[in-house]
Structure 1
């Protein structure tokens, strides 16, 4: 049996119009072409679907049974194809993203708002999670995209560079470091250093040892959340560290930040996706949208 969609649509058009002439017009084909499609369908099914003469047209019993079922099937098919086209043309869609809490609060809201202003029918679902869980969320297919600091290679996850930014010193207005044209890591040793626990500090310590072995990098306080670190900096308990994408959060706390040199240490942030999976049009469009905007921000590249 070799039944085609074109044959089924031809039969349904005739059944609904009750006329070969009207059905042919609705399908924009000739009556002879329409008759040929109906004949091919009946031959393929091995039964007649229409009784017709020069005056009248009737559905056979089998034709009557086929019509409502076919109407439902083709309606569902057309609706599905419409959804595919809408997703392709960004008239619908869902982007699911996992990011660490700091990225989620300091960077993503404005980017999501700008993206949805351009694509109002595409929803963006943001999952803020622990930095160690970003890749796991991608692997479990809870999200399509993960954004976060670079991690060790994973055979199930593809990673692509999104942006890089240098470490910045964070301090209150009027601090002795405020207003200096350039800051060096060695200058921070005169003040208690407040950093984040885990890979943030461990990786930074490794990078500094490799780039400047003579530097004494010894954080005085390590906390779990950037909000805690910034509150402590605001209270005058020490100097903090951050990457420039957190500028909006630094302003909320009324703090200053300045790039550190001697040496400049950069942190890379990547996009994580499931290996071998094609991104949805909405997810790919979101990445294409946010990448240039992030890299155009001060100090980022």
Structure 2
């Protein structure tokens, strides 16, 4: 039987009842460039609902959905497994960030040049890293295991390492445009742009609550415009 006093204490600790909150997990690029506008416009349109956002990487998005911490995910790669479903809501390009005056500054980069270059990359769960590795495999050149790597867990950290001439960065063109400066320039790998999609991810057999259902419908509507 419910304890009214305990219920009152719980309610005072949570300013919004759980039915009015949608839990969203977002990886770095959609989290920075898509989610803020979605949340702001959703709040203006549906003030009875609130959005709680967990910032993580793409692997963290999938984990949050699977363990129930999130109802809605936004990620930079498609999930593995049949328990999650994904639909495209945006697009991005992955580029190489080089310090001004670097040997690779000024043109496209061959795979052979890349293999001989120290790289600055995101952590293993990053969608940017996975998309870049997949693109190399598609071009017949997997990453070289003995290549020197520097790992940073944020896009800003990647660009800081590039500016410090620790290596060539693998990064989203959006992130470079937002966080880069005149001392860091974009170059592309031979073979054409490395493009990747951004995804709205849901549990396949999930019955979303009212807030999440409304948020997903709003996200789909906004992404089509």
Normalising by structure 2, what TM-score? Answer: 0.67
- Per-residue Cα deviation, 1:55-109 (whole angstroms, up to 9, x for no partner): xxxxxxxxxxxxxxxxxxxxxxxxxxxxxxxxxxxxx954321012454345433
The yes-or-no answer on 1:197 pairing with 2:197 is no
- Show the counterpart of 1:268: 197
- Show the counterpart of 2:4: none
SS in 2 for 1:284: helix
What is the alpha-carbon distance in structure 1 between the residues aligned to residue 90 and residue 217 of structure 2? 17
The structure 1 residue matched to 2:68, chosen from 131, 141, 151, is: 141
What is the alpha-carbon distance in structure 2 between the residues aligned to residue 237 and residue 258 of structure 1? 17
Q: Is the 8 A contact 2:97 2:176 kept in 1?
A: no
- Show the counterpart of 2:91: 164
Structure number with higher relative contact order (C-alpha < 8 Å, ≥ 6 residues apart):
2
What is the alpha-carbon distance in structure 2 between the residues aligned to residue 94 and residue 231 of structure 1? 36
What is the alpha-carbon distance in structure 2 between the residues aligned to residue 249 and residue 206 of structure 1? 25
What is the alpha-carbon distance in structure 1 between the residues aligned to residue 197 and residue 189 of structure 2? 16
1:110 positional shift: 4.0
* Residue correspondence of structure 1 range 3-14 to structure 2 within 5 A: none
Relative distance call for 1:156 and 1:217 in structure 2 (3 A) is: closer
- Per-residue Cα deviation, 1:265-286 (whole angstroms, up to 9, x for no partner): 3333322212233544422233
- Show the counterpart of 1:223: 151
- Show the counterpart of 1:10: none
Structure richer in helix, relative to its length: 1
- Show the counterpart of 1:284: 216
SS in 2 for 1:198: coil
What is the alpha-carbon distance in structure 1 between the residues aligned to residue 222 and residue 177 of structure 2? 17
Q: Identify the range of structure 1 (142-151 vs 109-118) with the bigger mean alpha-carbon deviation.
A: 109-118
Uncovered stretches (5+) of structure 2, i.e. residues with no partner: 1-18
Q: What is the count of residue pairs matched by the alignment?
A: 200
Q: CA RMSD in A?
A: 3.6
What is the alpha-carbon distance in structure 1 between the residues aligned to residue 46 and residue 145 of structure 2? 46
Q: Indicate the structure (1 or 2) with the bigger Cα radius of gyration.
A: 1
